[in-house]
Amino acid sequence: MRRTSTWPLAVLSAPAFVAVWSGWVGLGRMTGFGEVDLLPGLADVRVDTCITLPIGAEVLGVLAARVWLDPNVGPRARRFAFRLLWSAALYGSAGQAAYHLMAAAGWERAPWPVTLVVSVLPVGVIMLGLILFHLIRIGEPEPAPAPAPAGTPAPAGTPAPAGTPAPAGAPRRKADPVPEQGQPSADDRPGLINWLSGLESLPTDRALGARFGRSRTWGATLLREVAQARQDQAGDHNGEDRAGAEPGDSAVAAQPVFGPEQSSVPA
């Protein structure tokens, strides 16, 4: 590959650098930027904050252009860098135009809307630069694997899609056992309660949960519902017995039983 000499680019960018730098510094003086005591009480260090404007605005644009033109950067970071590049170019062009218009008119102080827009430049540069570096660092998410052609066996350990029947001879999952003859499924709650109520001895909550592939808590809750259903059935049977008894039965049962020697009825 033929290498291109970079000295024409240096000659081209040198005057542009001087003009842009002077424009940002002049705009900074019109909007309140200037010399500040950087470490008051600690050291006599004075810095002119006007230089923060050209460094922040132009370096961010150059960085965005570098990322956008780099083919080794992911598409998401390059799209963000493309938008950032043109935003920085428009912002810088507006700043240069505002400075030269105000300087040509003899203004010493910029109006407050210009001061407001220029003063937020350092904060915006920091946030946008962090986002750009974060996108470069994390890269792109791994693409989803393409579906395998029909008839291609799945790799070992790959779960089968929902609703796919298990191959012949494969062991069944414990979470979805096949019910025995006459045994309802785990989703048939009323059927389970009726089926368990008819058993002479109930299983433990652990055995019940393991039998249906559920938890021990599920088995304990089901056993409580079965016990409540048995109590309700017993109460219904007692009510039917009381309702079917004859009126004289209670009176006869309430009379004392006399023996032959204690009978008070005359012979």
More confident residue, 99 or 154: 99
Q: Is the pLDDT of residue 181 over 80?
A: no
In percent, the amount of the chain with pLDDT more than 70 equals 71
More confident residue, 27 or 263: 27
Q: How many CA atoms lie within 13 A of 238 on its CB side?
A: 6
In percent, the amount of the chain with pLDDT more than 90 equals 37
Question: Are 57 and 95 spatial neighbours (Cβ–Cβ below 8 Å)?
Answer: yes
Name residue, tokens 């218009």: 101
Query: Rounded to 5 degrees, what are φ and ψ at 204?
Result: -75, 165
Q: pLDDT tens digits, residue range 216-227?
A: 888 888 888 888
Count CB neighbours of 9 within 10 A.
10
Question: Are 88 and 64 spatial neighbours (Cβ–Cβ below 8 Å)?
Answer: yes
Rounded Cα distance, 184 and 208, in Å: 13
**Quick one: which of 193, 187, 217 has its CA closest to 204?**
217
List 37's β-bridge partners, or say none.
Answer: 46
Rounded Cα distance, 62 and 134, in Å: 17
Question: Are 53 and 27 spatial neighbours (Cβ–Cβ below 8 Å)?
Answer: yes
Q: Is the pLDDT of residue 94 over 90?
A: yes
Alpha-carbon distances, residue 198 vs 34, 44, 70, 191, 208 (angstroms): 92, 94, 76, 11, 15
For residues 210-214, average pLDDT: 81
Confidence of residue 81 (pLDDT cuts 50, 70, 90): very high
Q: What is the pLDDT of residue 261?
A: 42
List 46's β-bridge partners, or say none.
Answer: 37
Q: Which two structure tokens, joined as six digits, stand for 9?
A: 């680019």
Rounded Cα distance, 96 and 39, in Å: 31
For residues 4-11, average pLDDT: 82
List 48's β-bridge partners, or say none.
Answer: 35
Q: For 57-66, 112-121, 164-173, which range has the lowest pLDDT when averaged over its residues?
A: 164-173
Rounded Cα distance, 197 and 166, in Å: 33
For residues 116-134, average pLDDT: 93
Q: Is the pLDDT of residue 29 over 90?
A: yes
Q: What is the pLDDT of residue 156?
A: 56
Mean of pLDDT over the chain = 78
Rounded Cα distance, 204 and 219, in Å: 8
Rounded Cα distance, 185 and 206, in Å: 17
More confident residue, 179 or 88: 88
Q: Is the pLDDT of residue 173 over 70?
A: no
For residues 147-161, average pLDDT: 58
Q: pLDDT tens digits, residue range 38-54?
A: 888 898 899 999 999 99
What secondary structure, in 3-state letters, does 17-77 show? HHHHHHHHHHHHHHCCCCEEECCCCCCCCEEEHHHHHHHHHHHHHHHHHHHHCCCCCCHHH
